[in-house]
Structure formats: C-alpha cells, structure tokens
Amino acid sequence: MNDKASVVDGDYLVGLGSYDMTGPAADVNMMGYANLEQVTAGVHFRQRARAFIVAEGEEGARFAFVNLDAGMASQLVTIKVLERLKSRFGYVYNEENLAISGTHTHAGPGGYLQYVTYIITSLGFVKQSFDVIVTAIEQSIVQAHNNLRPGSIFINRGDVANAGINRSPSAYLFNPPEERARYPTNVDTEMTLVKFVDGKSGKSIGSFNWFATHGTSMSKNNKLVSGDNKGAAARFFEDWFRSSHQNSSTPPRAVAEKRTLEETASRIEATGGQPCDRTTSQRFKVRKTSDAEFVGAFCQSNVGDVSPNVLGAFCLDSGKPCDFNHSSCNGNDQLCVGRGPGYRDEILSTKIIGERQFEKSIDLFNSAQEILSGKVDYRHVYLNLTNIEVELQDNRVVKTCPAALGPGFAAGTTDGPGAFGFQQGDTQINEFWKRLRDFLKEPSQEQVDCQLPKTVLLDTGEMFEPYPWAPAILPIQILRIGKLVILSVPGEFTTMAGRRLREAVKDSLINNGNGEFSNDTIVVIAGLTNAYSQYIATFEEYKQQRYEAASTLYGPHTLSAYIQEFKKLATAMATGKPPTTDSPSPPDLSSVQISLLAAPAIDTTPPGRKFGDIEEDIFLPPKKGHFTTGERVSASFWSANPRNDLMTEGTFAVVEALLGERWVPAFDDDDFSLFFKWGIENTSFHGVASVEWEIPKEAISGVYRLRHFGAAKVGNSAYRYFTGASSAFAVSSS
C-alpha cells in the first residue's frame, strides 16, 4: 500500500476513520468496576474506534490519534497495533506519533490488558476482546490514512453544563486555598473541540473533543456492552450530522444500513441455514457499510475525580447524603451510591449526560471560526515510574515508588462501591487482610516508607508471579497541531493534578519556544492513553487516601514526577530537539498470558425447536391493539452464544418496518433505542436472545417486527448462521 498521500492546496492533510470494536457480548467480565458478577450479557449499543490523522503535507510530520469506546488504552494493544501498522506502512506510524486513548466506559468486555491486576476478574487474558480492539484500531487508521486529503482544522472551546461533579470533594479541599481560589469549580467544565473540513469541497468531515467526565453512567450492575455517556454522545453527534446533511452525496446512515441489511438477510435465507465454517460464512453475515464520511469522537481528559452522577451520593438505606470524608453510610461504603440525572434509570442517565456533551459539541462545532495553523509535531518517551528522582521546589530530592494500592482502593467510589468492609480514606488494615497481603507479597520496609501515608494493601509493583501485576515502564507523549497541544497520559489525573500538569507544560513551551508559543496556546489532556496505570492525585490529595489517592500507584510524588518529565518533553518540543532521556521499552507479555475463560459450548435448542424460533412473542397492549412512542416492545428467540461471532460491522438485532410488501430494516443494535440481551433459560438451559425496542419519537406510524441474527456452534469448527422474526405489530406515533 502506498504510504504517501498526494498534496494539493490545503493547510494540512487530514483523514478520519471509524470501525466497530464491539467485543464478546456474553460471558466476559467487564473492565472498570472489577465486579466479578458483572459479566457481559448483550448489547446496549455498539462500541467503535474512531481515528484522525493530521499531517504537514506529503513529507512533513504527522500523527494519528485514535479514540476507543473502551475503558482505557492497553500497552499490549499498542504494541500489537504498531506491529500491524509496520507491516502495512513501514515506519510511517510508530510509538512516537500514534496515540490510542480510551473513553473510560465501564461497560466494555475486559481481558485485553497485560498486567495481572487488570485481568483478574476477567479470568485472565481474553483473546477475543483483545483481537477485536486491535483490528478496529488498525482499520480505523487504515481508513483515515486512505482518505487523507487537504483540509483545515478549526478549534473552539466552551463550558459543558452539569455533566460532571467531583466525587471526592473532601480530597479536593486538601489542595491549597490560594490554588483553589483560582478556579470557579472543583471540576474542569471546559470542552475543547476540533473540527475537520475538507479543503476542496469545504464540507465538514469530522470532529473530536476532549472533556472530563467518568464513563460510569452505566452502573456496576449493568451487563450490556455500551459506550456509556461518551459513546452515546458520539452516536448522537454522528446521527445528527448525517440527518442534517442528507443532501450530500453520501446516503444517510439509516438508508445505507437498510440496503445492506436487506440484501444480506436475503443471502442468509438463501443458504437455508446450512452448517458452514467461519471463513465461508462471512458473506452471509449481516453487514453494514463502514461509513467514515463523518466521524465524531468524544475523548476523555483529566477525569480522575469527576463523576457523571451529578445528583450527588446518597445512602441507599436512609436517602440521606453520605459521609463527606469517607463516602460511607454508618461505616458501610456499599450503601453510598451516586445518582445520575435519570435517577433509578441508568440508561436514561447515560442518555442525558451524553446529550449534554453532544449539545455543547454542536454549539462549538457550528460556531467554530478559529483556524489552526502552524507545525505538526510530537515527542514521546518511556519512563520507569518506579524509581524517578524528583527535585521539588524547595530543592529536596525525592523518589517515586514501585506500584502499590491502598485500602481506599478496595473501598471503590460512589460510582461503584467496593467490598470487604473498606472505606475511602482508610489507612489501617486489619490482621486478616495483612496476613492475606503478606501471603501474596509482604512489602519491603523501603516500599512501606516510600508509599506513606498510604498503607500498602497490595504490593503490585513487587509482585511478578505468574507475571507482573502492575506496569513499571510507561509512555508519555505530546502532540501538537499549531497552538493546540495534546498531552497523552497513561492514567487518570484528578482535576487539580491535570490543571497543574497543563500549566507546567504551557509555561515550559512559552519559556523555551523563542516566541513560538504564547498565552494563546491551548493545552488539553488526553487521559488513559497508550497504556494504563490507574490514578494520579496531587500530593495534598494523597494525604487523605480516598480512592483516587489510594490508587495512585507510584507514591506521593507521582504527580511531581509526571510534571518534571513532561516539562523536559515540552522543552524538547519547544527547542526542536529530541527528548533527552528515555527508558527501555515496556515488555510484551503476550507469550505468558493465562486464559481461564472457557470456550463457548456447542449450542442446542429444545426438542422440536430450531435456532431463531420464537421463545416468547410480541404481546400487544391490552385494550389498545398497538404501541405508541415511548413504549417498549420485546420478543425472545431460541438462540446461540454471541461469542460465536461478534457480528463486527453487523448486528444481532433489527427492527424492520413494512414498506409495501417488503420488510426494510429501520433500527439495529447500534441504535440507542434497541437492546439485544442474551442469557440461558432457567429450566431448559438453552440459549435465549431477547430483542427489546423502546419506540423512539422519530419512529413513524406503521407496521413493524423484531428480528434476530446469530451464529450457532454445531461442531468444533462448524457454525450455522440463522435468523428469526417476531410477529408483526402496529406503532402509532404520539
């Protein structure tokens, strides 16, 4: 493949891409809450990898930025993506100019990171989760590379109202009063948005923005794969753009999907559902067009202490506010839970927080007038975070520590309380937990002293069996497009930690840039990027040892180490020089991964039933005979494990509308209104798939039916693709 793009008039070369990265929708523990019972069982809406590439002409500098509907980036994912890109493009994209960032949804399948701490609850490494993410990143970059064209980039900023609150306000108050007085709120409310415009046609082709709020609108009890509030915002934005630009040469998403789904469904029926292997069956799968004509991404920032559960945290037993310092209710952390704006309805909360980000993004997108100009540049280094000497402002020299977690980590947060009787702010461990800790790994005295005032609950940085429990070597990166500077950080900075980092980098750029940088320089943080190492709290917040501080792995001076090393990297960028220091590359632990998740069993149906047959059909509302918008319609089918085929760029569920004598797909499992659910029937122990449709206001009056697509494992390497349909039902728009 040609690794160069032709150049005509334009400020930059820009390209965008998007690809389905929805992982296994059954049996896999979700990444985020570390809740053993939170195992995937369906799809809320599909997850995607969205990419942009920007370059200074054919021979100039370029970088690629990929935003994932995933909990976080993974060092192993980055390593394998780079291997694939090297085989396609040579050294055009490498570890220095590729950024992979997670939105921090807590509703995606786990098992794709390489360190023990992050894959315990997923029963080790899950190859299917890993592969679909790596492929999606690769394909999104390939799309972006192949459609590079001359274009302009606009930038705009504005405040998002009521989309995040500080979930550790008592820790925030530990920061100096004079520092807090400089900011109107205890969270960052600003969204920074870039808008990509085709240089020839003048048409908008994409938009990425950065704003801090956690992907925890979906609770730790949810079992549906979901992009959470940022994934929802992206779906709303892309659908809004397509619906408002229907006069363009590209057909709207729904029209394109209807065509593709209709044709593919006919092919499935034509096979008679005969057994076939994976390779020959691909052409029979339900497929949608990979339409990258417009890509809208909602990226994460310094999200560490920012919750989307904006109504606050309350006790489940009394309804009263939780204890301010410990976020517990009479000492019980599990009773203290944050409330989203759709209180008692997590789907509604996800929608509302997504809409608040989406609505601000439209405003910024439509009003963006400032055009970026200037260099495209990047700098990248690896750091050994376990042993960095840091010179403080009082000339004292301190050091970071090997990774460790404190008791406050086990307490969890108000977004997802932990277990075991811990509370946020705990610095004591009872004798039982001490013995269990020491059985796993007794921390050295040096480690105990280094981590103070954190008490070491898990000495993950000194645990190496069966392979390392926590990262030691981590990447930091700076990307630049003119006055926009993006800081790629491998973790979750708290609000104040992020403010200090942005300010320090900006000062270094201005002081060393010989006039190239100014107070107009815009610095944003891209959180959870390229690797993952949990939290980064300020030195002052670390003293209280709430969840974020207890999860700050490398000790009380972690933030100071990041600031020191980012300042070095910023100085290198400002002076046009390479980085002065670099640690060895992080390890590739793929060869030692342990996978304990069993493969799907051979699927069966009850006697006299076949895959796709109705298990429970539509029930019309009594005395009405039809449904109206806002009501929920459902049907269930005898089905097979969704892990048999992820239906990448396809769907497990469709709502079809009767147009004349033809059934035409109208909604699928990438739509916010349609839910695909999977489970095992309680008495027969056969698989059942449920399709539920919450009729949206845009649904027109007419006749509809629900349809399900699946793949059944009928032998060790044989799969039968099938479909099923409900009875028809009427919908009247209200």
On the question of a cis peptide bond just before residue 471, with omega within 30 degrees of 0, the verdict is no
**Pick the catalytic residue: 18, 307, 349, 560?**
307
CB 552 within 8 A of CB 536: yes
> Residue 71 belongs to what H/E stretch?
none
Which residue reads 């201005």 in tokens? 510
CB 501 within 8 A of CB 560: no
> Residue 714 belongs to what H/E stretch?
none
CB 712 within 8 A of CB 611: yes
Amino acid symbol at 200:
K
Q: Identify the burial level of 289 via C-beta atoms within 10 angstroms of its C-beta, where 0-12 means exposed, 13-18 middle and 19 or more buried.
A: middle
CB 160 within 8 A of CB 357: yes
Amino acid symbol at 262:
E
Q: Where are the beta strands (DSSP E) in 502-564?
A: 522-526, 535-536
C-alpha span between 263 and 663 (Å, rounded): 11
Question: For residues 694-713, b (16+ Cβ closer than 10 Å) or e, as one string?
Answer: bbeeebeeeebbbbbbbbbb
C-alpha span between 502 and 563 (Å, rounded): 9
- Asked if 307 is an active-site residue, the reply is yes
| One-character DSSP codes across 137-192 | HHHHHHHHHHT-EEEEEEEEEEEPPSS-EES-HHHHTTS-HHHHTTSSSSS--EEE
For residue 607, the number of C-alpha atoms closer than 13 Å in the C-beta half-sphere is 0
Strands 492-493 and 149-159: unpaired
Helix segments in 442-478, DSSP class H: 445-451
3-state secondary structure 391-436: ECCCCCEEECCCCCECHHHHHECCCCECCCCCCCCCCCCCHHHHHH
Counted residue by residue, the chain has a size of: 734
Q: Which of 542, 539, 441, 537 is nearest to 495 (CA)?
A: 537
For residue 569, the number of C-alpha atoms closer than 13 Å in the C-beta half-sphere is 30
C-alpha span between 728 and 618 (Å, rounded): 8
Tell me which residues are annotated as active site. Answer: 307
